[in-house]
């Protein structure tokens, strides 16, 4: 339909032509015809948007449930703005009970228009994010319980993988285990020794200041040995494992998930748990007890330095430590750190395997791995405290 643009003051009630390439007319039968010509791009649609929607809302076809015919045979290129105008036009008409006919669209344009309309309907049907306190609490509790069940199940799966590795050592990729052990133990040794030395030094110094009032400086080695071997050694080592190695586990496996490498491994019949998780857990179980011993040694060095500075000989410090620290304390700390390392390595690998899509998915998995590891360490340490109390250890 060819029309000649006219001044707005010359538009008639039955035939109105807009300078932007639109012919609008309404028949006596109540059929509104909209004839578009030219390209429907962001420039032309910006001028047509308000007049078209206003004409549709005020037409007899929209008020009586009639028909609205949209002729697009003379229209040229239709971009996203043009599709948005057509979708909005159809939505306004159908909301008032009118029927819309789109004439002259190509096959590709019809397909794009259907996709745009589907997206518009899904956006309108999207449930509100506003939820009551009761619903939020119930969903939060359900998510926490489901997360706990998932962590426990995966920890059991990791334990079975470790057991199978011990039964069949020829199936283990010992080269990967060695590389992971170097990353977990050797590379983290400097920071571990530094933290252990400073903690022993600070705790001994603070204890000496307090006990000097009562003449009890001689009990500082007793306190330091028991605290480090029973509690602080395993706990600090596990926290360092979660913050340093656990985050690395989650980031490495999460990156493989984003790059679809895990899907390729599964397609080839390779178990990601046995191939990726197993070596990391074995290296953690092998290195973390040694790291705990080195941490305890560094803390004793710090405590000995403080005792030497206040006039106590080294032999007095060592004899007091060895006289009060029993074998059960050492064994209990090693059992605790083995459980801590299994939990931390397992949940870190789990977060990596559950990484979603998107640029920030790996970061979220890494953060979740560290937080989950710290929570599990705290819960397990409390359970061990109760267990050791009833076992008189």
pLDDT average per 10 residues of sequence, the chain (393 residues): 39 38 72 79 81 78 74 78 81 77 78 74 59 73 81 79 81 85 89 94 90 86 89 92 91 88 84 84 91 93 91 89 87 91 89 81 89 91 91 82
DSSP single-letter state for residue 61 = H
Q: Which helix (H) or strand (E) holds 46?
A: helix 42-58
pLDDT of residue 3: 44
Of 385, 105, 353, the closest CA to residue 235 belongs to: 385
Q: What angle do CA 342, 159, 147 make, to 5 degrees?
A: 70
CA gap 263, 332 in Å, rounded: 41
Q: What are phi and psi of 355, to 5 degrees?
A: -65, 135
CB-based contacts of 123, cutoff 8 Å, min separation 6: none
Q: Which helix (H) or strand (E) holds 85?
A: helix 80-95
pLDDT of residue 128: 53
> 93: alpha, beta or left, given left = phi > 0 and alpha = psi -120 to 50?
alpha
Chain centre distance of CA 303: 41
DSSP single-letter state for residue 270 = -
CB-based contacts of 109, cutoff 8 Å, min separation 6: 72, 78
What pLDDT, in 10s, does the model give residues 340-368? 998 898 888 888 888 887 768 888 889 98
Q: What are phi and psi of 75, to 5 degrees?
A: -75, 145
pLDDT of residue 7: 37
What pLDDT, in 10s, does the model give residues 35-63? 887 778 878 888 888 888 887 777 776 66
pLDDT of residue 340: 93
pLDDT of residue 384: 92
Cross-sheet strand order for the sheet of 32-40 = 15-18, 22-26, 32-40, 67-78, 99-103
Task: Tell me the domains of the chain and their CATH numbers.
Answer: 8-125 (3.30.750.24), 151-390 (no CATH)
CA gap 182, 4 in Å, rounded: 80
CA gap 147, 352 in Å, rounded: 14
CA gap 191, 195 in Å, rounded: 6
pLDDT of residue 17: 37
pLDDT of residue 202: 93
């Amino acid at each position: 339909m060819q029309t000649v643009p006219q001044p707005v003051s010359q538009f008639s009630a039955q035939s109105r032509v807009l300078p932007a390439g639109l012919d609008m007319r309404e028949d006596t039968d109540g059929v509104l015809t909209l004839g578009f010509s030219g390209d429907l791009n962001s420039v032309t649609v910006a001028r047509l948007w308000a007049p078209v929607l206003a004409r549709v809302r005020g037409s007899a076809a929209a008020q009586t449930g009639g028909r609205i015919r949209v002729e697009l045979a003379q229209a040229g290129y239709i971009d996203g703005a043009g599709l948005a105008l057509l979708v909005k036009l159809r939505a306004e008409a159908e909301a008032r009970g009118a029927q819309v006919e789109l004439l002259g669209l190509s096959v590709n344009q019809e397909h794009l228009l259907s996709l745009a309309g589907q997206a518009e309907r899904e956006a309108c049907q999207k449930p509100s994010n506003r939820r009551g306190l009761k619903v939020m609490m119930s969903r939060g509790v359900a998510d926490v319980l489901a997360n706990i069940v998932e962590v426990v199940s995966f920890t059991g799966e990791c334990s079975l993988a470790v057991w199978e590795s011990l039964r069949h050592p020829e199936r283990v990729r010992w080269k990967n285990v060695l590389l992971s052990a170097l990353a977990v133990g050797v590379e983290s040794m400097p920071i571990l020794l530094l933290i252990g030395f400073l903690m022993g030094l600070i705790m001994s110094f603070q204890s000496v200041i307090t006990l000097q009032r009562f003449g009890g400086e001689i009990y500082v080695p007793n306190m330091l040995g028991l605290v480090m071997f029973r509690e602080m050694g395993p706990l600090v080592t596990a926290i360092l494992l979660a913050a340093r190695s656990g985050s690395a586990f989650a980031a490495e496996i999460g990156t493989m998930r984003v790059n679809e490498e895990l899907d390729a491994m599964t397609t080839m019949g390779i178990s990601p748990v046995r191939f990726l998780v197993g070596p990391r857990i074995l290296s953690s179980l092998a290195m973390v007890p040694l790291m705990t011993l080195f941490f305890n040694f560094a803390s004793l060095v710090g405590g000995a330095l403080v005792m030497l500075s206040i006039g106590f000989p080294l032999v007095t410090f060592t004899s007091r430590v060895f006289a009060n620290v029993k074998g059960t304390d050492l064994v209990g700390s090693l059992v605790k750190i083995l459980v801590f390392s299994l939990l931390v390595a397992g949940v870190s690998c789990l977060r990596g395997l559950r990484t979603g899509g998107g640029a920030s998915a790996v970061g979220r998995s890494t953060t979740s791995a560290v937080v989950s590891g710290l929570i599990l360490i705290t819960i397990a340490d409390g359970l061990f405290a109760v267990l050791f109390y009833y076992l008189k250890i």
